Structure 1
Amino acid sequence: MIRTTFRQPGFIALGAAMALTMLGSASASPRQGAVDEDALSRALAFETALTHVAESVSPSVVSIQVEVTKPQNQGLPFFFGGQGRGGIVRGGGSGVILRSDGYILTNNHVVHQASRIDVRLKNGKSFSAELVGADPATDLAMLKIDAKNLQQAEFASSEQARVGQFVMAIGSPFGLDYTVTTGVLSAKGRGAIGANEIEDYLQTDASINPGNSGGPLVNLHGRVLGINTMIIGRGTGIGFAIPSEIAQRVARQLIDNGTVRRAWLGVSFQEITPELAAHFGGSFDGGALINGVVPEGPADKAGLQAGDVITAINGERIQEGHDLLRTVLRHGVGERLELDVRRGDQGKKITLVTGERPNEDGARSHERSVEDYSMLGLALEDLTPQLRKRFHYEGDGRVFVRGVAPGSDADRAGLRAGDIILQADRQTVRSIGDIRAALEDGKALLYIERESRRFFQPITQSK
């Protein structure tokens, strides 16, 4: 939950709390009820720092109003509005002045499908805006207004930002322009949220609400660390911002080309848990576990396989999956990369030429009924030609999970009805018998296809 001391009016209360925490409470002063002048001085200095940031950054922030001729996707987390008649829906958000000649960075979901976009500056002037380009994969968009000599925002390195440092969000929540909230940088590298194709967010507890989208998350120097984009539920104190490094790379391409081209390996990955490490030959000191390789993609052509662990790219260590994503996105399309790969208990050097990242494919979904349960709670069925046609499945799997017994070992392992089992203990599954044989010792490492994803999942018989 967002701490109330981080909301307005609260700069003085927050500063006082900080100072008193560092120096001791007033009760420790020589005379009961006496003002600790040193603590008060520190509190006022902190308050002055916050107000200076708010005053200096706000002219680089804009309020955005949009009109669309049909209702937008109600699932978008920050679309403020839903007002209007005659098929016109009005909404809005925030933006950051990227260049003094009128380029403004915001979220794609703020301006998606908009038939009209208006931008209002801090001084009250309004302009009609043109959409220069959008990047749905990161939820960023670039606008242009006919204006000059605007105060452009300054950016800081999100990679050098430290968890726990103070941050400030500025925007137009619920249409309330230039609202300022404060908090801390709660975490870095957040992903797997499912909102966008590319996710590598900064997390903050600074209060973010509908209308903050596209506004800046800044540090105490008044420099942009990220572009506010989404929350998980209202009032949770969990908000996310697109890191400044990603935002600036996307912004440059949108201004120059109107679109974004980014490097792509053609793999999917997952984190290496201790349980998974045991199935892959012992301990791992970091790395990204490849759980899927796109046929004819760059990784496939270079010889990478599902089950390989990428530990470095061009000598830069890969500690976990999002390190792989960040590192690849820093390179261009067509660049040659040298990968350090662990395959089983052997290390390999693999040279790969990056491709261009395609748009995300739609997921496949299958509906199934549950029948008998066997093999640690799994009910399995062969994928016959009739079932493949019924489920529109064109992959290479041959066995799928028809049902999972509630509370069973398979249920605890996270297996679901509809999962397709491609491998068992690193061996290709051609029939249900292959899975039964792998489970004879009460455990197995399964390689699963679920909708458009592939991943490894161990399953163990409970004692």
Structure 2
Amino acid sequence: MTTDTEALDAYSRVVVSVAEKLGPSVANLRVARRGTGSGVVITPDGFMLTNAHVIGNGRRVRASFTDGSDVQASVVGVDPLSDLGLLRLDTAAAHPAELGDAANLRVGQLVVAIGNPHGYAGSVTAGVVSALGRSLPARDRTATRMIDDVIQTDAALNPGNSGGALVDGTGTVVGINTAVAGVGLGLAIPINATTRRIVSALMRDGRVRRAWIGIAGGARPLPPRIAALVGRDNAVEVVEVIGDSPAARAGLRAEDLIVAIDGVPVRGVDDLQRLLGEERIGVGVALSVVREGEPREVTVRPEELSSR
């Protein structure tokens, strides 16, 4: 039988291992006229991921690492509606972090937050995944959008942790810490297929174009009868329909279950966002929906989000 001491030692070994592995990849960011935050190096040639709200409209950023190095970084692009920003260090970094996949997380799983709260570089806190599938509002000058599938953790986060790494027990980055929602309640943007597409768009174009239909939603397991009817176990439940949006004009309602877009299955928010790429802007899209237990088709014409 495992003793309390042995269990504590095993826990400590994981946290120490993760801290040693990720510490060199996480920097303290100082943005002119904005303050401080954190960032995570994600490529060998010096691309660094952080929060859009850490960068703001700044263009001059300094990145300080735990080895004492202090490097100038340039802003590649920001995407306020995912609260992600991309920097590039003027000097290539030797310690990129490995990006994981938040889709594999489970509630109760150990996670470690690494960042720079209150300017204390390389600070480490540990906790668990408290909940998955949370939503967080994000806003730019023209629109508000819900960031879906946000990770909730009780790993202590404080001002300055924003943009830092949320890491699993293997030392891979599963989230970018973004908000302190209360005592013992921190939120992180998940590393998933949507996040990777946003990062790729920022690398390529410095911006992200989105097709927008105007809903907030979350993944939901389907009842057995409906699952058998549509041939899949999960869908996206519409939680809110934004007024005067394409979804509202098309007659989409709260509690509708979106099971497919143009015949392609939708099992979660990540599928929905992936299928609403920039190529769908201004094009009629067929949503397969289950409403009050009955399937139906709803045609929506997405807009470009930034045009609102």
Scaled to the shorter chain, the TM-score interval is 0.7 to 0.9
Structure with more contact order per residue of length (Cα contacts < 8 Å, sep ≥ 6): 2
| Paired positions, count | 282
Partner of 1:203: 152
| Further displaced range: 206-215 or 243-252 | 243-252
1:136 aligns with 2:80: yes
Query: C-alpha separation between the residues in 2 aligned to 1:162 and 1:352?
Result: 34
1:59 aligns with 2:24: yes
Alignment check: 8 A CA contact 1:310 1:339 kept: no
More strand, by proportion: 2
Alignment check: 8 A CA contact 2:217 2:236 kept: no
Superposition deviation, residue 310 in structure 1: 3.1
Give the secondary-structure state (helix, strand or coil) at the position aligned to 1:101. coil
Alignment check: 8 A CA contact 2:201 2:207 kept: yes
> For residues 92 and 287 of structure 1, do their structure 2 counterparts lie closer, same or farther at Cα, with a shift above 3 Å needed?
closer
Superposition deviation, residue 114 in structure 1: 2.5
Query: C-alpha separation between the residues in 2 aligned to 1:62 and 1:254?
Result: 20
1:23 aligns with 2:2: yes
Give the secondary-structure state (helix, strand or coil) at the position aligned to 2:22. helix
Superposition deviation, residue 307 in structure 1: 6.2
TM-score (norm 1): 0.55
Query: C-alpha separation between the residues in 2 aligned to 1:270 and 1:54?
Result: 32
Alignment check: 8 A CA contact 2:259 2:288 kept: yes
1:260 aligns with 2:212: no
Partner of 1:333: 278
- What amino acid is aligned across from residue 237 of structure 1 in structure 2? G
Partner of 2:13: 48
Superposition deviation, residue 151 in structure 1: 1.4
Give the secondary-structure state (helix, strand or coil) at the position aligned to 1:58. helix
Q: Which runs of 5+ in 1 are unaligned?
A: 1-21, 26-38, 73-90, 273-284, 362-463
Partner of 1:443: none
Partner of 1:240: 187
Selected match of 2:171 from 215, 222, 247: 222
Alignment check: 8 A CA contact 2:287 2:297 kept: yes
Query: C-alpha separation between the residues in 1 aligned to 2:115 and 2:201?
Result: 25
Q: Which runs of 5+ in 2 are unaligned?
A: 140-144, 221-233
Superposition deviation, residue 202 in structure 1: 0.3
State the Cα deviation string for residues 281-339 of structure 1 (Å, max 9, x = none): xxxx9763476476683774xx4444682330245355xxxx4x433212222248552
1:312 aligns with 2:259: yes
TM-score (norm 2): 0.80
Q: Which one has a bigger Cα radius of gyration?
A: 1
Alignment check: 8 A CA contact 1:92 1:110 kept: yes
Query: C-alpha separation between the residues in 2 aligned to 1:333 and 1:299?
Result: 20
Superposition deviation, residue 260 in structure 1: 0.7
Query: C-alpha separation between the residues in 2 aligned to 1:109 and 1:121?
Result: 20
Alignment check: 8 A CA contact 1:227 1:244 kept: yes
Query: C-alpha separation between the residues in 1 aligned to 2:101 and 2:243?
Result: 33
State the Cα deviation string for residues 10-45 of structure 1 (Å, max 9, x = none): xxxxxxxxxxxx7366xxxxxxxxxxxxx53x5433
Alignment check: 8 A CA contact 2:132 2:152 kept: yes
Query: C-alpha separation between the residues in 1 aligned to 2:218 and 2:190?
Result: 21
Alignment check: 8 A CA contact 1:290 1:310 kept: no
Query: C-alpha separation between the residues in 2 aligned to 1:343 and 1:231?
Result: 36
Query: C-alpha separation between the residues in 2 aligned to 1:206 and 1:290?
Result: 28
- What amino acid is aligned across from residue 151 of structure 2 in structure 1? L
> For residues 287 and 194 of structure 1, do their structure 2 counterparts lie closer, same or farther at Cα, with a shift above 3 Å needed?
closer
1:155 aligns with 2:99: yes
Query: C-alpha separation between the residues in 2 aligned to 1:24 and 1:51?
Result: 20
Query: C-alpha separation between the residues in 1 aligned to 2:242 and 2:181?
Result: 31
Partner of 2:52: 108
> For residues 126 and 289 of structure 1, do their structure 2 counterparts lie closer, same or farther at Cα, with a shift above 3 Å needed?
closer
- What amino acid is aligned across from residue 206 of structure 2 in structure 1? G
Query: C-alpha separation between the residues in 1 aligned to 2:49 and 2:217?
Result: 30
Selected match of 1:146 from 90, 94, 112: 90
Query: C-alpha separation between the residues in 2 aligned to 1:156 and 1:220?
Result: 11
Give the secondary-structure state (helix, strand or coil) at the position aligned to 2:12. helix
